[in-house]
Chains A and B, each alone.
Chain A
Amino acid sequence: MNKNNQLSELLSAWEETYKKGQLTLWIFLALKDGKKYVDEIKTFVEEQSKHTMTCESQSLYRNLRKYQHVGVVDYETGVGNKGPERKYYFLTKLGHKLLDNFINRNINLFFNKRIKNLIKKEDSK
């Protein structure tokens, strides 16, 4: 195995593990951006993650049902662009608080000056 192949395989393996559990964050960010129906959430996630995250509609529905069940997401029905009624999902108060707390504890770490510099800095070795 040459060095490039090795790097590519290691990167894929790491990304696969890293992405697990990220879908929730992306869905919540999509809903923080505003009420959306499933296709809009899917588009948001894929576009904003620069297509590093992909998700099936069925998987989104399943996740949204769980979030709704635990009270962090809810929906209201509204007319979609193409006519039929759609479920527009949004974050509840609890959902907003949960996302804020999660971001404060897990995402904002990366915005600390020292870490930011380390991320920016290219490894010269």
Chain B
Amino acid sequence: MKTLTKNLTYFAVFFFLGAIVFRYGLSHFLENRSYNLVWIIAAIYFIFNFLIGWFFGKRDYESLPLYDVGFRFHFATYFLFNIVSVLWFSLGFHSNFESIRIVYVIALFWGIGLLIHLIFYLIVRKNSIYGLNKEEIFE
């Protein structure tokens, strides 16, 4: 099954850059105790991710309707966000008010969510051929 599609790659690139900007903004505003701006950058980050997910997800489905209930995009999001976060701490870019423990806790709980999503994905995959919904191949 084709997993890494062109639109998923574009999404991953935008998401990766967005995660770096978010991490930078978060650490910077926390360091300067600008707590109101932390909320603002978190909201902007959420909207940005929603928009790129919606845009590239829609284009991806229109291009080739892979029947994965959004799992590929979810996995890419999980993987990239946590990689950026861990690297951010490893390279010492974080503020004094951030702890890597939070990153691990987020990865753990989000990972449980991702696992549930994987189970759903494996269930619906039974109704597909090469990742396409059987009922949609010859519609």
Contact B62 A66 (CB under 8 A): no
Contact flag A21-B132 (CB < 8 Å), given A66-B64, A66-B65, A69-B2: no
Question: Which residues of the other chain, A, contact B129 by a CB distance below 8 angstroms?
Answer: 70
Q: How far is the CB of B138 from chain A (nearest CB, A)?
A: 4
Provide the residues of chain B in CB contact with A21, threshold 8 Å: 138-139
Contact in complex: A69, B64 (CB < 8 Å): yes
**Taking the complex as formed, is A125 at the interface, i.e. its CB lies under 8 A from any CB of chain B?**
no
Closest Cβ–Cβ distance, residue A24 to chain B (whole Å)? 4
Number of chain A residues close to chain B: CB under 8 A: 10
Cα distance, A21 to B130, chains bound together (Å): 20
- Let me know if A65 is at the binding interface, CB within 8 A: yes
Q: Which residues of B contact A70 (CB under 8 A)?
A: 129-130, 132, 137
Q: How large is the interface on B (under 10, 10 to 19, 20 to 34, 35 or more residues)?
A: 10 to 19
In the assembled complex, how far is the CB of residue B125 from the closest CB belonging to chain A, in whole angstroms? 14
Q: Tell me the chain A residues, 64-78 only, with Cβ under 8 Å from chain B.
A: 65-67, 69-71
Is A69's CB under 8 angstroms from B132's CB?
yes
State in angstroms the CA–CA spacing of A58 and B62 once bound together: 10
Q: Decide if the interface of chain A is mainly helix, strand, loop or mixed.
A: helix
Restricting to A3-24, which residues have a CB under 8 Å from any CB of B?
20-21, 24
Chain A residues positioned under 8 Å from B2 (CB to CB): 69
Give the contacts of B28-65 with A (CB-CB under 8 A): 62-65
Residues on B with C-beta less than 8 A from A67 are: 137
Which residue on chain B has the smallest CB distance to residue A61?
A: B63
Other-chain residue from A20, A24, A66 in contact with B132 (beta carbon distance below 8 A): A66
**Most interface-central of B63, B64, B137, B138 (chain A CB within 10 A):** B138
For A72, the closest partner residue in chain B by CB is B137
Contact with A along B98-138 (1 / 0, CB 8 A): 00000000000000000000000000000001111000111
Chain B residues with CB below 8 A from A62, complex form: 62-63
Chain A nearest CB from B65 CB (Å) reads 7
**Could you jot down 5 A-B contacts, CB within 8 Å?**
A21-B138, A62-B62, A65-B64, A66-B132, A69-B132
Q: A interface vs B, CB < 8 Å?
A: 20-21, 24, 62, 65-67, 69-71
Known A66-B64, A67-B137, A70-B132; 9 more pairs at CB < 8 Å: A62-B63, A65-B63, A65-B64, A66-B136, A69-B64, A69-B131, A69-B132, A70-B130, A71-B130
| Cβ-closest 8 pairs across A and B | A24-B138, A70-B130, A65-B64, A66-B137, A69-B130, A70-B129, A66-B132, A69-B64
